[in-house]
Amino acid sequence: MKKIEDLNVKIFADGADKTGILEMHSKSFIKGFTTNPTLMRKAGVTDYKAFAKDILKSVSDRPISFEVFSDEFPEMERQAMEIADWGDNVFVKIPVTNTRRQPCYELVHKLTRSGVKLNVTALMTLEQVRDVTDVLASEIPSYVSVFAGRIADTGRDPVPLMAAAVELLKNKPKAELIWASPRELLNVFQADSIGCHVITVTNDTLKKLALVGHDLDDYSLETVKMFYEDAKAAGFTL
C-alpha cells in the first residue's frame, strides 16, 4: 500500500471551520482548500466576505475555492468577479446548473475567457463533465468537481465514471478533476489509482490517516478491547 506522501493525487482539505483550516494548512500534504455555503452555515459563518478575507490572510500559498451563492447568472457573474479579485490563489466555485436546472456553460465560457480561475462544482454525470470541459478556456487553470461520494450514495460505483472523466479532461491540460464528497479514506487511494488530480477530504476523514497501512490483526485486537472496556465502563451485567 502506498504511503500518503507517495500518492500522486493532491489532497485538498474541505471545510469552513477556521481552526480546522489552519490546522490543515500546517500540514505539507494538504495541497489546497475548498469550502461551500453549506459548510460555512454549519460552521456558523454569518459574514461571507469577512470570513473569506480572514482565511486568506493565512492561506495565500495554496489554491482555495469560494462559491457564488446567487441563483441568477448575471449576479453569479458579478459575485465571481469580486471573489476572483480576493487573491491570485482563489478559485471561484460555479454550480453546474442553477436551481431551475439551467446549465452554467455560457457563464463558464465567459468567465474563463476573462481570466477567472473556476471550480465548476456539483457535477454527477459524464455529460456534464464533457459539456463543462468543452467551454473551459485552455490557458486558464480550473477545476471540475464531480461529487463521487454522492454518486456512490445512489448505489452506483463512481470509479468507472471518474476514470472516464479523467480521460475527458485531457482535452484541457490546465483543468484538473476533483473527486468531491468522498465517504471514506479508501476513496483517496481509489482516486489516485485512476489518475484523478485532486480529492477533497474533510477533517474528520483526514484524522483517519494514522490508520493507513495499520496491521489488521492489531486493529482487530484494538476493536475487541474497545468493546470490552466500553461494556465494563457501562457496568453491564447479565
Query: Mind telling me the catalytic residues?
Result: 93
Query: Do 144 and 123 form a contact (C-beta atoms < 8 A)?
Result: yes
Identify which of 153, 141, 156, 204 has the alpha carbon closest to the alpha carbon of residue 13: 204
The residue assigned the cell 504511503 is 3
Q: Using alpha carbons only, what angle is made at residue 60 by residues 44 and 17, rounded to the nearest 5 degrees? A: 20
Instruction: Determine what percent of the chain falls in helix, strand and coil, rounding each to the nearest 5.
Output: 50, 20, 35
Q: Which helix (H) or strand (E) holds 143?
A: strand 142-146
Give Cα separations from 198 to 127, 142, 214, 233 (angstroms). 20, 12, 24, 43
Handedness of CA 197, 198, 199, 204 (dihedral sign): positive
